[in-house]
Chain A
Amino acid sequence: MSALEKTPETTAESRTPLMTLAGVSQVFDTKAGPIRAVDNIDLSVNPGEVLCLVGESGSGKTTAARMAAGLARPTDGKVEFAGNDIWSMNRSDFGRFRRGVQYVHQDPYASLNPTRTILQTITAPLLKHRVVKGNKAAADKAAELLTKVDLTPPENYLPKFPHQLSGGQRQRVSVARALTLDPKLIIADESTSMLDVSIRISVLAMLGRLRDDLGVGFLFITHDLAIAKYFGWNGKTAVMYLGRIVEFGPTPKIINAPTHPYTRALIDAIPEPDPDLTKTKGRESLRSLEIPSLAHLPSGCSFHPRCPLFEDGLCDGEVPQLVEIRPGQSAACHVVARDGAGEVRPDEPVA
């Protein structure tokens, strides 16, 4: 598996991570009591690296992304950009961070200002931050950016309003806008989930090329493990459940040899575009279909009421910590930590 060897695991140690979330929590005060949307997570993205954050709704993945983007301030822990805490930065450093980390939203229909043309949308940051001088140069730069996101010829797109573009085209414009200030990190929050299957792959491929050509790091948030697999194959994946990271490791291992029962359940649950395979895929049933409320998290491991590996007294006691199960791959599960990841699954290619 050549892909695995390419993972910059060894070199990553020596570099300063681009973005670090260290022991970060986010607690929202609601009428139903405090809600721990994100509970003490550690993550880091190295320059030019992809980190996929996977989880269902309520897992806290978007909250984590918003903290990384500086859109929300953590109640606890530190968010660091190139080694510096963003919330104790001075104004100019914070500005540098702001411009260095860009966000691509989920909804291509809401992320562009309907009253502004594509040209206006893209040139605004260029002119404001004097990336280029003068309207002519800004328009040229905008055309260059559109070409980078495969909207060619750019003259066809620049004078248009968002409502005149398709969802995929709008999402490309959003990416072009994110590129205006030459960011080091792009946070893609479910950026392709609203696109049609036929278009999704081409947008992902375009993002992949940007990552390779421009060396942009990605924090890639998705609920779709198949998409995480496709985009983040050479990177790492963290699986979140109810505000905590339950499994972390190189993407191919998470997908093909998951260790945490929750990750396994997720991967088993996904139907395959192959009738024979999807009908015969082994699936362990969960003990409960209900997702606990964030306001009343189960004691110990919050997956225990649904977990097929549940052991009374062990799983509902302490909150499990992430421990290394296999080299580079860690999971937060008492049972797996004690017994190991178990037998190799039948559908698991031998890595």
Chain B
Amino acid sequence: MVTTTPSGKTSTATARAVRGGEGKPLLSIRDFKVEYRTGGGATVQAVRGVDLDLYPGESLALVGESGCGKTTFGLGLLRLLPRLGHASGKVIFNRGDGTEIDILGLDGRDLREFRWRDAAMVFQGAMNAFNPVLKIRAHMHDTMRAHTKATRQEIEDRAGELLRLVRLEPERVMDCYPHELSGGMRQRVLIAMSLLLEPEVLILDEPTTALDILTQRSIVDVLHEVRERLGFSMIFISHDLSLAAELADRVATMYAGRLVETGGVRDLFYRPRHPYTLGLIKAVPPIVGDLPDLESIPGGPPSLAALPKGCTFNPRCKFATDECREAEPDLLPVTDEPGSAHDVACIHWKDVHLDREVPNQDLGTAS
């Protein structure tokens, strides 16, 4: 079962992601850090040096427990951090015309332009993104007019087209107030709105959390379709591994503000090499089949204010040795998988294997 025969879409994306591959990354993130000032003049690093490339057309999932810094990462990328947050490092966005811009150096007009035209973000709580006293039509027009010189009719057409793409009827939805729509409809309107200016990158932060299963399914299907049609890149932040398995070409696991593993979706799910990724996968109950043998990761994520010495995962890790408590490992390529772009930050990666030969065990002994 655990064989890597790259198939279809996945393989092209993986190929693109190969280090030194021909395609230039759309978004090139280097040593990205986010600090929060806390009371008493102290600072806490929520994102501690992330290197990541996003290639055109690629869908990247960022997974991890709550408090691992993944939301902060997304907000930091678009410079949407709260007042007390500060992002540093380099985030180079490669516009199709050959110009490169450093997002962290943008301000004012340029930043606003970047946020809708080049990259857009869809947040978790769809309600907060809308002004409750404006109809959907007004939201669409305001967004378009703030960035383009489109005429009324052009805006109507564009909005209608996108709404239909997310399986909504423009005639009905445009004249609604946000509260008149269901949660799933609002989320779809938000996706349509974020695509108004044809951004190259869409960042989605837990877009289906708190939605019902069937509604979640409709959002996932819509994302599949829209991406196929419009071909934008996507960074998808989620705590839900199953969703990542479904939507991502590539997955990055985040722990305590750093990436601990990145790789193609099949590499990561079938051959995780970081004990944390392995732990996450083993903790998710699948729905198909018999009762699986699940395991939880002991303990909880560390406080960012008091990180353990060495590898930050070592207190929860069953592979940990004294060496792990000395230095924090770098994210390095997995060497025994030729052709794949699979990086891991663990000195014991060779010992980490997922064996999903699931015996039919019952829950009584699973603990």
Interfacial residues, chain A to chain B (CB-CB below 8 A): 1-3, 6, 56-57, 166, 168, 196-202, 204-206, 208-209, 212, 223-227, 229-231, 233-234, 252, 255-256, 265-279, 281, 283, 286, 289-291, 347, 349
Pairwise interchain contact B214-A289, C-beta atoms closer than 8 A: yes
> Given that A229-B285, A267-B287 are contacting pairs, would A200 and B363 also be in contact in the complex, using a CB cutoff of 8 Å?
no
Pairwise interchain contact B285-A198, C-beta atoms closer than 8 A: no
B79 nearest CB across to chain A (Å) = 28
B81 nearest CB across to chain A (Å) = 23
Pairwise interchain contact A266-B362, C-beta atoms closer than 8 A: no
Pairwise interchain contact B213-A289, C-beta atoms closer than 8 A: no
- B residues 140-173 with Cβ under 8 Å of A? 167
A-B interface, 3 closest residue pairs, ranked by CB to CB distance from nearest:
A205-B367, A269-B217, A202-B296
A256 to B248, CA, bound (A): 26
Pairwise interchain contact A272-B287, C-beta atoms closer than 8 A: yes
> Given that A166-B300, A205-B367 are contacting pairs, would A255 and B287 also be in contact in the complex, using a CB cutoff of 8 Å?
yes
B288 nearest CB across to chain A (Å) = 5
The residue from B239, B246, B286, B289 contacting A349, defined by CB atoms under 8 A apart: B289
> Given that A201-B283, A270-B287 are contacting pairs, would A275 and B362 also be in contact in the complex, using a CB cutoff of 8 Å?
no
A-B contact pairs, 30 of them (CB 8 A): A2-B360, A56-B214, A196-B66, A196-B239, A197-B240, A197-B283, A197-B284, A201-B285, A201-B295, A202-B296, A208-B364, A209-B364, A209-B367, A223-B212, A225-B287, A226-B284, A229-B285, A229-B291, A231-B363, A233-B363, A234-B362, A252-B290, A256-B289, A256-B290, A269-B213, A269-B217, A271-B243, A278-B246, A289-B215, A289-B218
The residue from B218, B241, B362, B367 contacting A206, defined by CB atoms under 8 A apart: B367
Question: Which residue of chain B has its CB nearest to the CB of A208?
Answer: B363
Pairwise interchain contact A229-B167, C-beta atoms closer than 8 A: no
A305 to B123, CA, bound (A): 30
Pairwise interchain contact B296-A205, C-beta atoms closer than 8 A: yes
Residue among A206, A227, A289 with the most chain B CB within 10 A? A289
Using Cβ atoms and an 8 Å threshold, which residues of chain A touch B285?
201, 226-227, 229-230
The residue from A3, A57, A198 contacting B362, defined by CB atoms under 8 A apart: A3
Using Cβ atoms and an 8 Å threshold, which residues of chain B touch A57?
212
A100 to B290, CA, bound (A): 33
Question: Which residue of chain A has its CB nearest to the CB of B188?
Answer: A289
The yes or no answer to B366 lying at the interface (CB within 8 A) is yes
Pairwise interchain contact B242-A278, C-beta atoms closer than 8 A: yes
Question: Which residue of chain A has its CB nearest to the CB of B264?
Answer: A275
The residue from B245, B287, B300, B362 contacting A2, defined by CB atoms under 8 A apart: B362
> Given that A205-B296, A205-B366, A229-B291 are contacting pairs, would A272 and B66 also be in contact in the complex, using a CB cutoff of 8 Å?
no
> Given that A202-B296, A205-B366, A289-B167 are contacting pairs, would A223 and B213 also be in contact in the complex, using a CB cutoff of 8 Å?
yes
Pairwise interchain contact B281-A273, C-beta atoms closer than 8 A: yes
A273 to B278, CA, bound (A): 12
The yes or no answer to B43 lying at the interface (CB within 8 A) is no
Using Cβ atoms and an 8 Å threshold, which residues of chain B touch A265?
214
Interface SS, A side = helix
A278 nearest CB across to chain B (Å) = 4
B262 nearest CB across to chain A (Å) = 15
Using Cβ atoms and an 8 Å threshold, which residues of chain B touch A225?
213, 287
The yes or no answer to B182 lying at the interface (CB within 8 A) is yes
Pairwise interchain contact A198-B280, C-beta atoms closer than 8 A: yes
Question: Which residue of chain A has its CB nearest to the CB of B249?
Answer: A275
> Given that A229-B285, A230-B294, A272-B245 are contacting pairs, would A266 and B167 also be in contact in the complex, using a CB cutoff of 8 Å?
no
Pairwise interchain contact B296-A275, C-beta atoms closer than 8 A: no
Pairwise interchain contact B167-A1, C-beta atoms closer than 8 A: no
The yes or no answer to B45 lying at the interface (CB within 8 A) is no
A141 to B282, CA, bound (A): 35
The residue from B216, B239, B248 contacting A269, defined by CB atoms under 8 A apart: B216
The yes or no answer to B279 lying at the interface (CB within 8 A) is yes
9 additional contacts (CB under 8 A) given A3-B360, A199-B300, A229-B287: A6-B362, A199-B297, A204-B363, A271-B220, A271-B242, A271-B243, A278-B242, A278-B245, A289-B184
> Given that A198-B65, A208-B364, A234-B363 are contacting pairs, would A226 and B286 also be in contact in the complex, using a CB cutoff of 8 Å?
yes
The yes or no answer to B11 lying at the interface (CB within 8 A) is no
Question: Which residue of chain B has its CB nearest to the CB of A289?
Answer: B218
Pairwise interchain contact A196-B65, C-beta atoms closer than 8 A: yes
A223 to B214, CA, bound (A): 11
Using Cβ atoms and an 8 Å threshold, which residues of chain B touch A290?
182
Using Cβ atoms and an 8 Å threshold, which residues of chain A touch B213?
56, 223-225, 266, 269-270
Pairwise interchain contact B286-A275, C-beta atoms closer than 8 A: no
A324 to B215, CA, bound (A): 29
Question: Which residue of chain B has its CB nearest to the CB of A150?
Answer: B367
Pairwise interchain contact A198-B269, C-beta atoms closer than 8 A: no
> Given that A233-B362, A278-B242 are contacting pairs, would A201 and B291 also be in contact in the complex, using a CB cutoff of 8 Å?
no
Using Cβ atoms and an 8 Å threshold, which residues of chain B touch A286?
214
> Given that A56-B212, A278-B242, A289-B218 are contacting pairs, would A273 and B367 also be in contact in the complex, using a CB cutoff of 8 Å?
no
The yes or no answer to B10 lying at the interface (CB within 8 A) is yes
- B residues 232-248 with Cβ under 8 Å of A? 239-243, 245-246, 248
Pairwise interchain contact B184-A276, C-beta atoms closer than 8 A: no
B106 nearest CB across to chain A (Å) = 34
Residue among B184, B220, B363 with the most chain A CB within 10 A? B363
The yes or no answer to B347 lying at the interface (CB within 8 A) is no
A201 to B286, CA, bound (A): 12
The yes or no answer to B203 lying at the interface (CB within 8 A) is no
Using Cβ atoms and an 8 Å threshold, which residues of chain A touch B294?
201, 230
A172 nearest CB across to chain B (Å) = 12
Pairwise interchain contact A273-B286, C-beta atoms closer than 8 A: yes
A270 to B214, CA, bound (A): 8
B209 nearest CB across to chain A (Å) = 11
A273 to B287, CA, bound (A): 9
A71 to B220, CA, bound (A): 37
The residue from B240, B289, B296, B363 contacting A199, defined by CB atoms under 8 A apart: B296
Pairwise interchain contact A197-B241, C-beta atoms closer than 8 A: yes
A275 to B215, CA, bound (A): 20
B274 nearest CB across to chain A (Å) = 13
A315 nearest CB across to chain B (Å) = 18
A198 to B290, CA, bound (A): 20
Pairwise interchain contact B367-A271, C-beta atoms closer than 8 A: no
